[in-house]
Amino acid sequence: MSNYTPKNILITGAAGFIASHVANRLVRSYPDYNIVVLDKLDYCSNLKNLSPSRSSPNFKFVKGDIGSADLVNYLLITENIDTIMHFAAQTHVDNSFGNSFEFTKNNIYGTHVLLEACKVTGQIRRFIHVSTDEVYGETDEDAVVGNHEASQLLPTNPYSATKAGAEMLVMAYARSYGLPVITTRGNNVYGPNQFPEKLIPKFILLALNGKPLPIHGDGSNVRSYLYCEDVAEAFEVVLHRGDVGHVYNIGTKKERRVIDVAKDISNLFNKDPDTSIQFVENRPFNDQRYFLDDQKLKNLGWSEKTTWEEGLKKTMEWYVNNPDWWGDVSGALLPHPRMLMMPGGVERNSDGAEKDDSGSSEISGNMKLNGMVVPASKISNSPSRSPYKFLIYGRTGWIGGLLSKLCEKQGIPYEYGKGRLEDRSQLLSDIHAVKPTHVFNAAGVTGRPNVDWCESHKTETIRTNVAGTLNLADVCKENGLLMMNFATGCIFEYDAAHPEGSGIGFKEEDTPNFTGSFYSKTKAMVEELLKEYPNVCTLRVRMPISSDLNNPRNFITKISRYNKVVNIPNSMTILDELLPISIEMAKRNLTGIWNFTNPGVVSHNEILEMYKKYINPEFKWSNFTLEEQAKVIVAPRSNNEMDASKLKKEFPELLSIKESLIKNVFEPNRKTSA
């Protein structure tokens, strides 16, 4: 057993959950230690977590990224750092399934930068690397002895793989350069201040708001949970008594099934678990059990002190008293969250507001805030900044224009793309200049005044609808960006398996069967190719309608100006209702193909009857057949019903087409007496 006394400690990721408890404990208990904390203030960090230490003379906060070699070297030298406690990491498994490259960047590359700085400066006496029990992989359900520190590493998800990779680098630097390293591998931790993408705070906040608790799979997965203060004490023990070159498991023998955790939280809120719990689709791979042998750490004098019942009660009381600690966390409370890695970093201030470094006022030098040092950055004077920024293509289009108005209404920063879709260099320039979190593609050739234009302009149609769209998807994929792609449902027509009036709609997985127009051909072609891009969310829009009845692109405006119309039931898209949903889908990082229509169908005559009832009682029209219609158009038109059940399941509040027409279009425009 060692007996080590540090002088100047650098704690990375210290505005996060576990590290903030460790930092506050060391600042409080060891006034002779100088504690420097480094954090880039990502979505799961919060300066308020460090509030107990901010006025202490032995505490200093630095905003920055461990991936910046210059900054890390500067801090090690100027602060005379002799000890590093490396907590900074992306840690949420669900996120790693959606944005695994960000985990490699933070968890492996960031660790490598730290190790190299330690090698170059040659002054580090302890490097404590914080890893996870997940590097061991799944423990057998019937195992009575947990994984010990020499057990094989068999990670099963992108998150744990990056943590195992980081461990290999740490081990290599210890052997090659004699770096004095200690590694810890811990069970799940819970308690106050934890960002609610994690199970226990998520369940508490959902229960607090009367919402169901989502269980992945059947809830039989077993986990071990340690209270945060016990874990902070474990790191205190490892810091002072841990032996260089050793690994220490931080764990507990007390295991719980996920479903039992949900039941315990339901009971704390006096809710019936049978009605509070909701079973949802499992993760792509969900380890059944993690079980650790923690005897080695106990031999250093550490032991778990907080019972499950006591810790859970303390945690619940904290979240009840601090429900707005993290601001808007609706995205984290989803069954399968895909929180974004904030470009440039988002800083949550002590008043709960957020600011990012994309503001307009430049501050030179270092800025001191309540004893904290923040390296020079652009700081916004805005009291609250959105964590999102959209890059929109299709400025002159109908949907592109409406998206900008929605962004303004929701306070989401956005910019229109300046580049042409077919020019890759221009798209890259847009992305590097704007630094978006999401890209919306509402650009495309539909033809003016209608799709007949595409029949005589085929190369132009291909260039934009196929080549340009694929180009944008590929550039977005290279830059780790989700692309929301507005496509069309006009790639299907009624057939024997989906007859008109049957209520059997085309589903997302069905193969397009309509090739009557060249426009539809290009849209079906590019949709098939986009399936190879996992970063694309394809939204099949049909016969779009909005409450702006003066807009010539509005389906209602069009048919109300025709002398004759066909009368066929079709699926349609009410933009007033569905465009806000597209923004929410972006926030949820949804991908794949979606039938982006209101449930059900409505015919031309039914719409015009509503028009007559709500707008113009004197309105008259007549019908003609498809055969008669064919004589006045160049290309046939698609008629179909889309199955919107997938969208309805994700957004249960979605109205049927007829309900939405009345609520969102005709009632707001009513000119007749009710």
Q: Which residues belong to the active site?
A: 133-134, 159
Task: Please provide residue 446's backbone torsions phi and psi, each rounded to the nearest 5 degrees.
Answer: -110, -20
- 77-80 long-range Cβ contacts below 8 angstroms, 24+ apart: 77/121, 79/8, 79/10, 79/34, 79/36, 80/7, 80/8, 80/123
> What is the C-alpha separation between 78 and 84, in angstroms, rounded?
14
Helix (H, G, I), strand (E, B) or coil at 612: helix
* Whether the Cβ atoms of residue 93 and residue 337 lie closer than 8 Å to each other: no
Residue 417's nearest CA partner among 407, 406, 436 is 436
Structure tokens at 350: 């002590």
* Whether the Cβ atoms of residue 339 and residue 43 lie closer than 8 Å to each other: yes
Say which residues have a Cβ less than 8 Å from residue 547's Cβ, sequence separation at least 6: 576, 664, 665, 668, 669
> What is the C-alpha separation between 258 and 215, in angstroms, rounded?
7
* Whether the Cβ atoms of residue 387 and residue 379 lie closer than 8 Å to each other: no
**Residue type present at position 197:** E
Structure tokens at 375: 């390296």
* Whether the Cβ atoms of residue 33 and residue 185 lie closer than 8 Å to each other: no
> What is the C-alpha separation between 198 and 219, in angstroms, rounded?
15
Residue 239's nearest CA partner among 18, 74, 11, 49 is 11
Q: E strands along 270-345, which residues?
A: 277-280
Residue 130's nearest CA partner among 181, 162, 83, 87 is 87
> What is the C-alpha separation between 397 and 588, in angstroms, rounded?
25
* Whether the Cβ atoms of residue 546 and residue 576 lie closer than 8 Å to each other: yes
Say which residues have a Cβ less than 8 Å from residue 631's Cβ, sequence separation at least 6: none
> What is the C-alpha separation between 561 and 569, in angstroms, rounded?
19
* Whether the Cβ atoms of residue 489 and residue 541 lie closer than 8 Å to each other: yes
Where is 177: in which H helix or E strand? Answer: helix 158-177
Count of other CB atoms within 10 angstroms of residue 478: 13
Structure tokens at 194: 């934890």
For 242-252, letters b (16+ CB in 10 Å) and e give beeeebbbbbb
Task: Please provide residue 32's backbone torsions phi and psi, each rounded to the nearest 5 degrees.
Answer: -85, -10
Indicate the DSSP class of residue 144. Answer: S
Peptide bond into 284 cis (omega under 30): no
Residue 129's nearest CA partner among 177, 163, 82 is 163
Longest dimension (CA), the chain: 93
| Cα 139 → chain centroid | 29
